[in-house]
Amino acid sequence: MTTRAGLAGLAAALALALPGCGGGDGGATVATTVTAPATTTGPSPATSTPVTGIERLDVGNGARSAVVFRPRGGPQPPPGVLFLHGWGGVDPTYYRAWIRHLVRQGNEVIYPRYQTGAVSLPGLALPNAIAGTRAALRRAPIAPGSLVVAGHSAGGAMAADYAAVAAGRGLPPARAVFAIYPGRRLKGVPLGIPEVDPARIPAGTQLLALAGARDTVVGAATARRTVARATRVPASAKRFVLVRDPRVSEHLAPLSPRPAARRTFWAPLDRLIVRARAR
């Protein structure tokens, strides 16, 4: 049974991992537009049609809500990327530069909030993420067979969980999973996100899991275990990578838009998207 003291301890620990994490409140579906340059820093893996702007949709309510970022001027419906944030990172501003990059490549990015702040029950994280994803897909459909799932920290662990349960929940299958520094609990914190058996990840899924050599928040165990236990995925389609570059091997490095982070995190996801959708 979860106690208030246990949740308070979890929130305090997570505040150290994700400084400034705050709550977010979902409301009725709204749409706004953010101007984005039409040019990109390389060829687009999703479309050759210039993206002239980014449309934002907020769907659902509370922890079961999601934010959708869609390209203006791209294909309709666009291919999709499900982006699962780290614990407490309900505000997409934390990953703003990376999200914009993905949308400028022609992707629709679905960002489930899955919680209202750091003090949330870990056992509700995946069900809430699924509910937010459903709300997003109802409002903003994606191209069939295009979904790639990426996640950081808690979101990295849930990216694998989504791939394992999607078929049974009537959700779009994950063509590929990119788990970045995944973790289900912090060291010394008893509460954690329940694991869905990675052996349930379908054989046709590509799987890439990264762990940071200097990640003292979650370590490398979850990333290694996810790849090892995804037994239905052929060895040629799954990979574990230990990131040793000191500039990007700490837990919060994926939030950075600097060149080293782009090479380490953005570029592999771009390549994974291309490979997954080419199959």
Give the per-residue SS3 of 69-135: EEEECCCCCCCEEEEECCCCCCCHHHHHHHHHHHHHCCCEEEEECCCCCCCCCHHHHHHHHHHHHHH
- Residue the block writes with tokens 């709204």: 30
- The candidate with the shortest Cα–Cα distance to 276, out of 92, 150, 103, is 150
pLDDT tens, position by position, for the chain (279 residues)? Answer: 333 444 444 444 443 344 433 333 333 333 333 323 223 333 344 445 567 799 999 999 999 999 999 999 878 899 999 999 999 999 999 999 999 999 999 999 999 999 987 678 899 999 999 999 999 999 999 999 999 999 999 999 999 999 999 999 999 999 999 999 999 987 667 779 999 999 999 999 999 999 999 999 999 999 999 999 999 999 999 999 999 999 999 999 999 999 999 999 999 999 999 999 997
pTM of the entire predicted model: 0.85
pLDDT value at residue 51: 72
pLDDT value at residue 5: 42
Specify whether the CB–CB gap between 103 and 70 falls below 8 A: yes
